[in-house]
Amino acid sequence: MSAEPVIPGFHPDPSICRAGDDYYLACSSFEYFPGVPLFHSRDLVHWRQIGNVLDRPGQLRLPAGMPSSGGIYAPTLRYHDGRFWLIVTNASEGGGNLVVTATDPAGPWSDPVWAPGVPGIDPDLAWDEDGTCWCTVAGVSQLRIDPVTGQTYDTPRPVWSGAPGAKAPEAPHLYRIGAYWYLLIAEGGTERGHAVSIARSRTPDGPFEPCPANPVLTHRGTDHPVQNTGHADLVEGPDGSWWMVFLGVRPRGGTPGWHVLGRETFLAPVTWVDGWPVVGEVAPDPSALPWPLAPGPAEEPRDDFDDPGLRPYWISVRDRPAEHVTTGERPGWLTLRARGGSLDAPDVVFTGRRQQHHACRARTLVDASEGRGGLAVRLDERHHYAIEASGTRVRVIARIGDVRAVVAEREVPAGPLVLAVAIADPPPPHGPCTGPDVVSLGVEEPDGTFSELAALDGRYLSTEVTGGFTGRVIGMYAAHGCVRFDWFDYLPDDRART
Ligand code: 6LW
């Protein structure tokens, strides 16, 4: 049974659209800046991040002190009338629903148009034949909107709430496919009960008739390696076949299973039977696809911070003001300047990338002669492991909920130093109490060997423990003063089981 996501790591709530031969996909980003990672593909299985939709403060302001898993929820991305449209919720204080547009999805995207009349989260946009734009939101309710101005018409009208009694009907997407309007939703909550259901109507505003085979996708109650499947979007493939992208997780270890990479984006084929979609095998074998694969260039494992800006995969917590995060101050280095809090604070100065492989290794060359900071595996402000340098001292810090402890310390020679994190399977024997992985933190010796300071159980950096909607991010931070990083590299470790 294949279990490979098409976009691994914390990339949930995928929304997809097609423009000619090109496909684009957007995901949620929560407390991270820039927001809404945007991917491009030609074959639906190989995706390359080409930017972030909300990449400047005028588009994305996350309030000081906002906790993890607030911020940017569940976008809908559509191509309509020669333009790309994205509607999304900023769920934090001072936010709401906003629409941005672009002619090139790599950017720039417009300033936001706010739509205060759109109630709740997970907004969708769909245009009917006479140009009316329908906005459907979690709940599930609907109203008409002018997406150019944000003006809404009508009071929101309930249209369908999925299976009677099922919690959290959300993530609606409305499409005209053939003779029907289809309303696709998620239900059951984004955890193990997650599912995708569908209803149809002859008109965009209903009445909607539920599919007798609902849910059309769920893995609840199964031991499929991909769990929590839901929050889907539909798209037509290059050959006219239909496909579904959706989020799923890959729990590992013993009971109950812990997922550490967040909610990832998966792909499955869809066939139509009696006007209803039938979802095929999750994570199909890419070599069996009926069109040529277009893998694109492999991502470079190392960033030397020689470019004027940061690559699109780098994300910071809440914002990224130049006075705190810059590559210009010491050319070829990333300079992080602390602003009060360390990793425990919601406004930590942190810049990282998503952990995308179960077994991997990350390293960075740090100069901590003017401050204190280092390399962290971050799930949220209450759950992280870090190796931190300050002058000639390094220490490993673990924060697990209410408990924070220095678990190892040692002296190092003066001067820049390589900090390293290696993440791998726990050693056998594996039993019901085995965690998902082991996070090992240490320093690299001048001869290149890794000296471990601590090896920590990875379950405490899993979403089953922390709650919330994100996944692990590995990156650099400044806890005090000014900390500089010459390079950072990230490599999947193919020697370990994935
Ligand atoms: C999102 C909701 C969901 O708004 O989780 O899994 C919420 N689905 O639709 C946050 O991603």
- Which amino acids bring their CB within 6 angstroms of ligand 1? 12-13, 28, 73-74, 121-122, 170-171, 186, 190, 230-231, 247, 469
pLDDT of residue 176: 98
What pLDDT score does 498 carry?
A: 35
> What's the pLDDT at 58?
95
What was the pLDDT predicted at 345?
Answer: 94
For residue 389, is pLDDT > 80?
yes
Instruction: Provide the pLDDT confidence category of residue 493 given band limits of 50, 70 and 90.
Output: confident
Q: Which residue has the higher pLDDT, 299 or 338?
A: 338
pLDDT tens digits along 244-260:
999 999 999 999 999 99
Is pLDDT at 346 greater than 70 in this prediction? Answer: yes
Distance CA 67, CA 343 (A): 12
351 has a pLDDT exceeding 50: yes
* Digit-coded pLDDT (tens) for 128-164: 999 999 999 999 999 999 999 999 998 999 999 999 9
Which pLDDT value is given to residue 210? Answer: 98
Question: Measured in angstroms, how far is the CA atom of residue 93 from the centroid of ligand 1?
Answer: 18
pLDDT in tens, 215-238: 999 999 999 999 999 999 999 999
Q: For the chain, list the domains and their CATH numbers.
A: 15-288 (2.115.10.20), 302-492 (2.60.120.200)
Mean pLDDT of 445-472: 97
- Which residue, by CA, sits nearest to atom 3 of ligand 1? 190
**Position 495 pLDDT exceeds 60:** no
pLDDT for the residue 1:
57
Q: Please check the confidence at residue 496 and state whether its pLDDT lies above 50.
A: no
Residues 161-174, mean pLDDT to the nearest whole number: 96
**Nearest ligand 1 atom, CA 12:** 11
> What is the chain's Cα-based Rg?
23
Residue 282 has pLDDT above 80, yes or no: yes
Q: Is the pLDDT of residue 411 over 90?
A: yes
pLDDT at 283: 85
Tell me, yes or no, if the pTM score tops 0.80. Answer: yes
pLDDT above 70 covers a percentage of the chain that reads 99
Q: pLDDT tens, 104-128?
A: 999 999 999 999 999 999 999 999 9
Higher pLDDT, 347 or 469: 469
Q: Residue 318 pLDDT > 70, yes or no?
A: yes
CA of 195 to the centre of ligand 1 (A): 12
Q: What is the mean pLDDT of the chain?
A: 96
In this structure, what are the phi and psi dihedrals at residue 101, rounded to the nearest 5 degrees? -135, 160
Cα(46) to centroid of ligand 1, in Å?
A: 24
Residues identified as active-site: 13, 170
Question: For 65-78, what is the mean pLDDT?
Answer: 96
What is the structure's pLDDT at 65?
Answer: 85
Where does the pLDDT of residue 299 fall: very low under 50, low under 70, confident under 90, or very high at 90 and above? confident
25 within 8 A of 41, measured Cβ to Cβ: yes
The C-alpha atoms of residue 138 and residue 136 are separated, in whole angstroms, by 7
Query: What average pLDDT score do residues 40-55 get?
Result: 97
